[in-house]
């Protein structure tokens, strides 16, 4: 007993020492910040609020003015999107040795799905529902980015979206705020680690605050208008989770929210983020989004824009000149105070202290560490595993997959625009800036053909490859090649989808169908019932109604990154039993958008397609092609009925929800057991389902596992019409299953 007591005492002391140390360091940093601030001129202060573009434009044209002279004259606090390690050393040396106060620069970069080693796109990673994997991906990405001189990642993007026409759906975690919150926290922890001053840590930057995923028409940068109720319930939870996880910075969004541009939206930045959530980090604009408040028509000129953005609580001007041109005037005219400018500068300086840049401005500019770190083989191996875990099997009629020695096929054809592409960042996305923009070494990418041909031949298959419809346009010649090639095959693997460069920001589409009649490939290869596997390389939900009805096997591979081919081969040959689950609803048609699982019931829900006087269409069922949370396996899982620990709980009690999940097939496999609730009768209409828990389990063939979730009144609460988060007593239904549609249910009551 004595020993345990002593151990407990020692641990408590250690925790106190650590907390005290942290407290000291915070106090210590604030003291140093204030000492430095007191020495600064107004120009030097405004200089710290300036982020200049490096050698890549990820928005409007990069300013051509001379960056080095601005750095030397103390007009620059940060540089973004610079891909040259050597140039960053030169710039940092100029900032530290050639300016009056020697304040170091902080380098920011878009680290969206890997830095030099490219991983599956974030939406694909979310389909793994594996938070440990996601955190580890960001840990690797941070290690590479920091080794290459980047201090700050402009990620995670946590925008919930229900509109796949929007090109940036690929950057987030899909349509659900609960899953989005778990992913957001995992990414922040992965980037920042436990010590922001570590040479392998980069600061996170939660974006885009807020509402960007709800732009009208799915068109980038467009208008966002929503109730406070929807903002609180659907948009803000991942941002709050990221703030609570300790993200050092936030980024404004481009859009207006209810008429007010996010960069000058005091309600968002000051009242909620800094006020309600008590977050004290630094807010950077998006690319010239301060200046764009003038274009929005919500500011008259730079002075007005500078005043409104600073007053809202935003601190740093990315790739714009609004603060440079307008902030001094705003001060002279009394639109802002010296104290407000000081507070913004304090946040920037504190951020740099936290990153260790004052202790060592070259902490992430170490050539030796760079040489040892970039593109380690184990990073690539992890990318392969992550890509395989992210793939989602939508159809597998007749058990066509996996392809093994036992398969009845001998001759396999791999065909399509993405059978063996080495261009246009295929299998990746626009957001792989660390590889360079146009001319990057695409030999690093393992294509489907490069992996599948040898790996299937090793299993005894004969394999042919036909690259057709290159640049995703299918000609008559392409189709005649496809007809001929399919005749000589027993099984066709058709690799279709989206060009990598067409995935990401400013890549919105009006039609979600496979582009440029790629579906024709499937039609011709499927003739005479030739077994066809459709492999989709996509950055968003897409529609493929004909394939849904006619192609026996469909695998969503997303944009899988460097190891696309090996991951695909691991899944198609069964080395990896696919366990991915959709983080976004796949609609039948673009016309159904927005279509999402956590919708309200309406007063006239359409239970049966075609029922008059109900909410639906004449020409299409109002159900999706594939629901949120959906994904098949090469094995099958059975769910017992739900067992509840109580039939009712009080506001202070916990309800336990249990099910037995059994692997009834012949292969071990992963299953994501999902828990949803419905508030049957509340003070306002509530979603028909809300995800409130999930657990990813791996079960051997024939094995059973009891999965138990805990629910409290907090899980049942919502942002009500009195702007309070509370649970309404009354009936609730709980659902458990392997997706949002195929569920078991049970009822309970909150007293
Ligand atoms: C872009 C994006 C933002 C990115 C920034 C810097 O326009 O909206 O997500 O981090 O500019 O590249």
Ligand 1 binding pocket includes 735 (Cβ within 6 Å): no
**CA 403-409-411 angle, 5° bins:** 105
- From residue 368, give the alpha-carbon distance in Å to each of 91, 94, 212: 19, 21, 40
3-state DSSP call for residue 251? strand
Question: What residues contact residue 85 under an 8 Å CB cut-off, 6+ apart?
Answer: 148, 149, 365, 367, 370
Q: How far away, in angstroms, is 594 Cα from ligand 1 center?
A: 25
Q: Give the Cα separation of 94 and 72 in Å (integer).
A: 6
3-state DSSP call for residue 356? coil
Q: How far away, in angstroms, is 275 Cα from ligand 1 center?
A: 26
Confidence of residue 441 (pLDDT cuts 50, 70, 90): confident
Confidence of residue 62 (pLDDT cuts 50, 70, 90): low
Running DSSP on this structure, what letter comes out for residue 736? Answer: E
Ligand 1 binding pocket includes 286 (Cβ within 6 Å): yes
* β partners of residue 492: 413, 532
Residue owning tokens 């709800």: 214
> Of all protein residues, whose CA lies closest to atom 11 belonging to ligand 1?
287
Q: Give the Cα separation of 62 and 134 in Å (integer).
A: 32
286 assigned to active site: yes
* Residue 63 pLDDT > 60: no
* Residue 64 pLDDT > 60: no
Handedness of CA 645, 650, 653, 654 (dihedral sign): positive
- Please report which residue ranges of 193-268 form alpha helices under DSSP H: 228-230, 236-244, 266
- What is the pLDDT averaged over residues 236-253? 98
Ligand 1 binding pocket includes 289 (Cβ within 6 Å): no
Please state, for a pLDDT cut of 90, what percent of the chain lies above it: 89
Transcribe 5-72 into DSSP letters.
HHHHHHHHHHHHHHHHHHHHHHHHHHHHHHHHHHH--HHHHHHHTEEEE-S--SSSPPP-S-HHHHHH
Cα 291–chain centre separation: 26
pLDDT per residue as tens digits for the range 600-644? 999 999 999 999 999 999 999 999 999 999 999 999 999 999 999
Ligand 1 binding pocket includes 696 (Cβ within 6 Å): no
- What is the pLDDT averaged over residues 245-264? 98
Asked if 662 and 724 touch (Cβ cutoff 8 Å), the reply is no
Neighbouring CB atoms inside 10 A of 612's CB total 8
Residue 436 parent element (H or E): none
Asked if 375 and 116 touch (Cβ cutoff 8 Å), the reply is yes
pLDDT of residue 689: 98
Q: Give the Cα separation of 597 and 178 in Å (integer).
A: 13
Q: How far away, in angstroms, is 167 Cα from ligand 1 center?
A: 13
**CA 201-122-179 angle, 5° bins:** 95
Q: How far away, in angstroms, is 128 Cα from ligand 1 center?
A: 25
3-state DSSP call for residue 745? strand
Ligand 1 binding pocket includes 430 (Cβ within 6 Å): no
pLDDT per residue as tens digits for the range 632-666? 999 999 999 999 999 999 999 999 999 999 999 99
Dig out the tokens for 2 from the structure.
């004595």
pLDDT per residue as tens digits for the range 384-423? 999 999 999 999 999 999 999 999 999 999 999 999 999 8
b/e 140-154 (16+ beta carbons within 10 angstroms → b): bbbbbbbbbbbbbbb
pLDDT per residue as tens digits for the range 33-52? 999 999 999 999 999 999 99
pLDDT per residue as tens digits for the range 663-689? 999 999 999 999 999 999 999 999 999
Ligand 1 binding pocket includes 154 (Cβ within 6 Å): yes
Confidence of residue 515 (pLDDT cuts 50, 70, 90): confident
Q: How far away, in angstroms, is 365 Cα from ligand 1 center?
A: 23
> Of all protein residues, whose CA lies closest to atom 10 belonging to ligand 1?
154
Q: What does pLDDT average to over the chain?
A: 95
Asked if 114 and 375 touch (Cβ cutoff 8 Å), the reply is no
Q: How far away, in angstroms, is 306 Cα from ligand 1 center?
A: 20
> Of all protein residues, whose CA lies closest to atom 8 belonging to ligand 1?
286
Handedness of CA 639, 644, 647, 653 (dihedral sign): negative
- From residue 516, give the alpha-carbon distance in Å to each of 169, 470, 557, 592: 21, 11, 20, 21
Nearest ligand 1 atom, CA 254: 8
- What is the pLDDT averaged over residues 219-227? 98
Transcribe 57-86 into DSSP letters.
-SSSPPP-S-HHHHHHTT--SEEES---HH
Q: Give the Cα separation of 328 and 323 in Å (integer).
A: 8
- Of 435, 442, 487, 439, nearest to 466 (Cα)? 487
* Residue 9 pLDDT > 80: no
Q: Give the Cα separation of 558 and 562 in Å (integer).
A: 12
Domains detected in the chain: 32-57+66-79+249-354 (3.20.20.300), 376-588 (3.40.50.1700), 637-750 (2.60.40.10)
Transcribe 638-697 into DSSP letters.
EEPPPEES-SEE-TT--EEEEEEEEE-SSS-EEEEEEEEEEESS-SS--BS-EEEEEEEE
For a mutational test of ligand 1's pocket, the pick from 53, 59, 78, 283, i.e. the residue with the most ligand atoms closer than 8 A to its C-beta, is 59
Dig out the tokens for 81 from the structure.
């999107």
Q: At what angle do helices 564-572 and 377-390 cross, to 10 degrees?
A: 50
Please state, for a pLDDT cut of 70, what percent of the chain lies above it: 95
- Of 234, 241, 326, 239, nearest to 283 (Cα)? 239
Ligand 1 binding pocket includes 81 (Cβ within 6 Å): yes
Asked if 196 and 203 touch (Cβ cutoff 8 Å), the reply is yes
| Catalytic residue of the set 130, 286, 426, 570 | 286
For a mutational test of ligand 1's pocket, the pick from 208, 210, 505, i.e. the residue with the most ligand atoms closer than 8 A to its C-beta, is 505
Asked if 169 and 584 touch (Cβ cutoff 8 Å), the reply is yes
Q: Give the Cα separation of 678 and 676 in Å (integer).
A: 7
Residue, of 189 and 471, whose pLDDT is higher: 189
pLDDT of residue 332: 98
Class of residue 30 by CB neighbours under 10 A (exposed 0-12, middle 13-18, buried 19+): middle
* Residue 1 pLDDT > 50: no
Question: What residues contact residue 495 under an 8 Å CB cut-off, 6+ apart?
Answer: 414, 415, 416, 417, 418, 419, 448, 535, 537
pLDDT of residue 245: 98
Confidence of residue 146 (pLDDT cuts 50, 70, 90): very high
**Cis amide bond preceding 402, omega within 30:** yes
- Please report which residue ranges of 218-365 form alpha helices under DSSP H: 228-230, 236-244, 266, 292-296, 302-312, 322-332, 338-354
Asked if 119 and 113 touch (Cβ cutoff 8 Å), the reply is yes
Q: How far away, in angstroms, is 338 Cα from ligand 1 center?
A: 29
* Residue 3 pLDDT > 70: no
Q: Find the radius of gyration of the CA atoms of the chain.
A: 27
- Give the CA dihedral 80, 375, 450, 553, nearest 10 degrees: -70
For a mutational test of ligand 1's pocket, the pick from 159, 212, 286, i.e. the residue with the most ligand atoms closer than 8 A to its C-beta, is 286
Confidence of residue 242 (pLDDT cuts 50, 70, 90): very high
pLDDT of residue 442: 84
Ligand 1 binding pocket includes 686 (Cβ within 6 Å): no
């Amino acid at each position: 007993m004595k020993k345990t007591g002593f151990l407990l005492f020692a641990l408590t002391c250690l925790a106190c020492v650590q907390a005290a140390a942290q407290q000291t360091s915070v106090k210590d940093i604030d003291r140093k910040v204030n000492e430095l601030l007191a020495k600064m001129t107004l120009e030097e202060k405004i200089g710290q609020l300036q982020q200049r573009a490096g050698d890549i434009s990820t928005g409007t044209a990069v300013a051509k003015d001379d960056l080095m002279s601005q750095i030397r004259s103390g007009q620059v606090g940060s540089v973004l999107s610079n891909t040259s390690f050597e140039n960053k050393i030169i710039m940092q040396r100029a900032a530290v040795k050639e300016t009056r106060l020697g304040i170091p620069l902080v380098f920011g970069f878009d680290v969206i799905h890997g830095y030099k080693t490219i991983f599956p796109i974030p939406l694909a990673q979310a389909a793994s529902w594996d938070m440990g994997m996601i955190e580890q991906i960001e840990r690797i990405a941070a290690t590479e980015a920091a080794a290459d001189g980047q201090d700050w990642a402009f990620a995670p993007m946590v925008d919930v979206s229900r509109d796949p026409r929007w090109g940036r759906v690929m950057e987030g975690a899909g349509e659900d705020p609960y899953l989005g919150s778990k992913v957001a926290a995992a990414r922040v922890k992965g980037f920042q680690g436990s010590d922001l001053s570590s040479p392998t840590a980069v600061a996170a930057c939660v974006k885009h605050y807020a509402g960007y995923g709800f732009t009208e028409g799915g068109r980038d940068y467009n208008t966002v208008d929503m109730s406070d109720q929807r903002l609180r319930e659907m948009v803000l939870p991942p941002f709050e989770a990221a703030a609570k996880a300790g993200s050092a910075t936030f980024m404004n969004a481009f859009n207006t929210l209810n008429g007010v541009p996010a960069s000058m939206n005091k309600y968002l930045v000051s009242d909620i983020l800094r006020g309600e959530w008590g977050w004290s980090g630094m807010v950077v604009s998006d690319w010239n989004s301060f200046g764009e408040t003038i274009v929005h028509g919500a500011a008259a000129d730079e002075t007005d824009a500078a005043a409104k953005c600073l007053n809202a609580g935003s601190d740093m001007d990315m790739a714009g000149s609004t603060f440079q041109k307008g902030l001094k005037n705003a001060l002279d005219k009394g639109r802002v105070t010296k104290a407000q400018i000081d507070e913004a500068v304090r946040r920037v300086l504190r951020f740099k202290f936290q990153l260790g840049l004052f202790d060592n401005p070259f902490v992430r500019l170490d050539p030796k560490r760079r040489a040892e770190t970039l593109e380690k083989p184990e990073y690539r191996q992890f990318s392969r595993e992550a890509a395989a875990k992210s793939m989602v099997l939508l159809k597998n009629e007749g058990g066509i997959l996996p392809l093994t020695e036992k398969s009845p096929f001998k001759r396999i054809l791999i065909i399509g625009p993405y059978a063996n592409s080495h261009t246009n960042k295929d299998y990746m996305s626009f957001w792989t800036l660390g590889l360079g923009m146009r001319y990057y070494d695409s030999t690093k990418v393992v294509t489907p053909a490069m992996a599948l041909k040898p790996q299937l031949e090793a299993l005894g298959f004969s394999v042919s490859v036909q690259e057709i419809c290159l640049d995703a346009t299918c000609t008559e010649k392409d189709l005649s090649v496809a007809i001929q090639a399919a005749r000589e095959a027993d099984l066709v693997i058709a690799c279709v989808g989206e060009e990598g460069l067409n995935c990401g920001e400013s890549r919105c589409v009006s039609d979600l169908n496979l582009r440029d009649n790629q579906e024709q490939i499937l039609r011709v290869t499927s003739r005479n019932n030739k077994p066809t596997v459709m492999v989709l390389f996509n950055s968003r939900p897409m529609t493929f109604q004909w394939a849904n009805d006619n192609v026996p096997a469909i695998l969503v591979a997303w944009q899988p990154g460097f190891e696309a081919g090996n991951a695909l081969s691991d899944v198609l040959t069964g080395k990896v039993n696919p366990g991915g689950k959709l983080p976004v609803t796949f609609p039948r048609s673009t016309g159904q958008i927005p279509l999402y699982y956590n919708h309200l019931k309406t007063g006239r829900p359409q239970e049966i397609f075609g029922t008059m006087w109900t909410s639906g269409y004449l020409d299409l069922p109002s159900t999706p092609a594939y629901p949120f949370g959906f994904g098949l396996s090469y094995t099958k899982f059975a769910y017992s009925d739900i067992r509840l620990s109580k039939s009712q709980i009080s506001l202070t009690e916990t309800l336990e929800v249990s099910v037995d999940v059994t692997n009834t097939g012949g292969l071990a496999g992963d299953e994501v057991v999902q828990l949803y609730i419905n508030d049957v009768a509340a003070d306002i209409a509530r979603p028909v389902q809300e995800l409130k828990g999930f657990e990813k389990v791996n079960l051997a063939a024939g094995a059973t596992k009891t999965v138990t979730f805990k629910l409290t009144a907090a899980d049942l609460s919502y942002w009500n019409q009195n702007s309070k988060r509370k649970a309404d007593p009354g009936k609730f239904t709980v659902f458990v299953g392997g997706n949002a549609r195929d569920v078991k249910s049970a009822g309970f009551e909150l007293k």
